Amino acid sequence: MRRNEMTGQERVRRMFARQDQDSLPRMESFWDDTIRNFQAAGHLEDPNVILGSDFQSLCWSETFPYPGQRVQIAEDEETVTVRDAWGQINRYWKARTGTPEHIRFPCMESSDWFDTIKPLMLSNPPSVSIDEASRAMAQGRRLGRWCHFTGLETFEITRHLMGDENAMIAMLEEPDYFRDVSATVTDLVLKDWDHLWEAGVEADGVWVYGDMAFRSGVICGPPLYREMVWPDHKRMADWAHERGLPFNFHTDGDVNAVVEDYIGAGFDCLQPLEAKAGMNVVNLLAEYGDRLAFFGNCDVMIYATRDRDAIEHEIKTKCEAGKKTKGYVYHSDHSIPPSVDWETFQFIVDCVDRYGNYD
Amino acid sequence: MTAFMAVMTGSLTWLGPLVPGSNLDIFSLFDLHQGGIRWQRHRRQIVDLQPLTQSIVGGKRKDAKEHTEQALAAGVGPEAILAALVAGMDEIGGRFQRNEAFVPEMLIAARAMKEAMSVLEPELLKAGIRPEFTAVIGTVQGDLHDIGKNLVAMMWKGANFNVVDLGTNVEAERFVAAAQEHQADLVGLSALLTTTMPNMKATIEALKAAGLPKTKIMVGGAPITQEFADEIGADGFAPDAAGAVQVARTLMAG
């Protein structure tokens, strides 16, 4: 079968069902600087359209305590310090993308949560718009894409509210506090999805983001994860399954230690599988491919070299392993970095065409 | 039992096995006197520092502070107490590397260490004991990422390095100036982004050009590999915070 015999929606559905597809489903992510470089070189097209992405996000559920807030509180030549919708105070580059420096978080103590942030979040309206999701759905259907609700999961939201250090310490020392935050924010995300679903925005699936790991392993150990976070991950996956929707989970880092837990929570797919963190889709497909689909893992460090032989080998290896199980989606292992120029990106697309099709 | 134990004189410190569970006033010594042997019951308080070490391993900051205060009150030398604290950080670091402990456990251990050090540090200064090595650490220019860098700084402090944290987005010149000012034995460079990796190389070149013969340079961060570290002339690379302690110690020993 050649690509374009199926719509993206059909292709992705069949991927989740491990049924024959015309080609691997595909999608890509890019650093903002990469897009700017492409545009500066005169390529204004959406690179995901060039690639032929099969995915369409309908919403981004972010249950901020201070929706819409972005207050500048300091500035110097290169950076700007801002209090944002989470209530975080962060320092950002003016002219560059990258991870901000975190200065303060809204929940420094449990009393901040119980007295201020929790009541605020519970009193806020849904963070997603029916109109915007409906428009995105219409576009997605027109383009034949697999349309998904998107949002942050509890571990990520909790870290946004408490900061990494406070959140990690609370997991051990104030578990009731951590669990209250986790359960509450999960309720709010599910409420967002209910808001859209009940208005007739019927997605094809759910895609949730939350970074759970560093390059050398999971941030919190499997037992603590099971106790503190897993119950809410399961609730999210259950929400999707009750509506017949598959559940795709994004996490950076090395999560090899908790893949079985993810399967137990009901995750249907794992993305983006950071190669430099030791995630290897060839091994993962062999071990879990019958129970979990995989999405990504093409190494951006190789892409950054612009070495065409190495890039081709990387894409070929991952796509061919993926095709054997029918449960694989092409994507890089994170985001295309700015060191990848337009010509190299074109070559990547060519390789995905060459090795992603089921002949 | 391989407890760290110290006698209140501060001059006598066992680093090996002793009476399990003993901690007070019952340690008798043979004393050769006037040609005969007699038991002499020394009224010297024995302080078992193992609970202090374990309070660090378990991240019990209140206990760590209390045990430190008690050991000092009993006359244990600050150096012996410091050794017990560092042993605790070593233990948790080892568990981290064996995937038996994770970031939350490391964080509470580092916090317990900090709490104990708030009591111990003035005593160390009074005794003229200072950290043997000074490390300067920062995230290289162009990068505002600080989580990994902060963890390494905490672990180095826990290993009794004097740590000068320059923060994020640090220009090569600031690394050089700080290394010179503090006579750094070690400089740690962190980067999260592939786009800022070249700034590591530039910083290493600046440090080498500044002529700091005793200063070793370590690099780390999500995109960094041993190969890249070798390529840019770093003396050491560690994939995680606990590994950064071991590599730092190896470099200092060399």
Output the DSSP codes for A140-206.
HHHTTPEEEEEEE-HHHHHHHHH-HHHHHHHHHH-HHHHHHHHHHHHHHHHHHHHHHHHTT---SEE
Q: How confident is the model at residue A203 (pLDDT cuts 50, 70, 90)?
A: very high
Q: Give the DSSP letter string of B97-118.
A: HTTSS-HHHHHHHHHHHHHHHH
Across the A:B interface, residue pairs with CB atoms under 8 Å apart total: 87
A192: amino acid identity, one letter: D
| pLDDT value at A207 more than 60 | yes
Q: How confident is the model at residue A359 (pLDDT cuts 50, 70, 90)?
A: confident
| pLDDT value at B29 more than 50 | no
pLDDT of residue A97: 60
- Asked whether the beta carbons of residue A304 and residue B143 sit closer than 8 angstroms, the reply is no
Cβ–Cβ contact A79 with B under 8 A = yes
pLDDT of residue A98: 58
| pLDDT value at A271 more than 50 | yes
- Asked whether the beta carbons of residue A79 and residue B169 sit closer than 8 angstroms, the reply is yes
pLDDT of residue B160: 83
- Considering only the beta carbons, identify the residue of B59, B146, B239 that sits closest to A101: B146
| CA separation for the pair B31, A151 (Å, rounded) | 75
| pLDDT value at A26 more than 90 | yes
Contact A250, A290 (CB under 8 A): no
> What average pLDDT does this structure show over A22-29?
97
Q: How confident is the model at residue B223 (pLDDT cuts 50, 70, 90)?
A: confident
| pLDDT value at A262 more than 90 | yes
| CA separation for the pair A247, A267 (Å, rounded) | 5
- Asked whether the beta carbons of residue A169 and residue B142 sit closer than 8 angstroms, the reply is no
Q: Where are the domains of chain A?
A: 8-64+106-355, 66-105
What digits encode the pLDDT tens for the residues A74-92?
A: 999 988 999 999 999 988 8
pLDDT of residue A99: 61
pLDDT of residue B150: 81
B107 Cβ partners below 8 Å, 6+ apart? A165, A168, A169, B59, B154
Average pLDDT score, chain A: 95
Q: Give the DSSP letter string of B28-90.
A: EEEEEETTEEEEEE----EEE-HHHHHHHHTT-HHHHHHHHHHHHHTT--HHHHHHHHHHHHH
- Considering only the beta carbons, identify the residue of A33, A101, A218 that sits closest to B168: A101
| pLDDT value at A303 more than 60 | yes
pLDDT of residue A1: 54
| pLDDT value at A177 more than 50 | yes
pLDDT of residue B157: 84
Contact B114, B206 (CB under 8 A): no
Buried b (16+ CB within 10 A) or exposed e, A176-206: ebbbebbebbbbbbbbbbebbbeeebebbbb
Q: Does domain A8-64+106-355 have CATH number 3.30.70.1400?
A: no
| CA separation for the pair A348, A47 (Å, rounded) | 11
Residue A173: closest CA among A110, A125, A263: A110
Q: Where are the alpha helices (DSSP H) in B195-253?
A: 197-209, 226-231, 241-253
Q: How confident is the model at residue B37 (pLDDT cuts 50, 70, 90)?
A: very low
> What average pLDDT does this structure show over B98-123?
91
A45 Cβ partners below 8 Å, 6+ apart? none
| pLDDT value at B30 more than 70 | no
| CA separation for the pair B209, A231 (Å, rounded) | 55
Cβ–Cβ contact A339 with B under 8 A = yes
Interface confidence (ipTM) of the complex: 0.88
Q: How confident is the model at residue B145 (pLDDT cuts 50, 70, 90)?
A: low
Which residues on chain A are in Cβ contact (under 8 Å) with B240?
214-217
How many angstroms separate the most distant Cα atoms in chain A?
60
| pLDDT value at A150 more than 60 | yes
CB-based burial label for B131 (10 Å; 0-12, 13-18, 19+): middle
Which residues on chain B are in Cβ contact (under 8 Å) with A169?
104, 107-108, 111
| CA separation for the pair B81, A66 (Å, rounded) | 47
| pLDDT value at B149 more than 90 | no
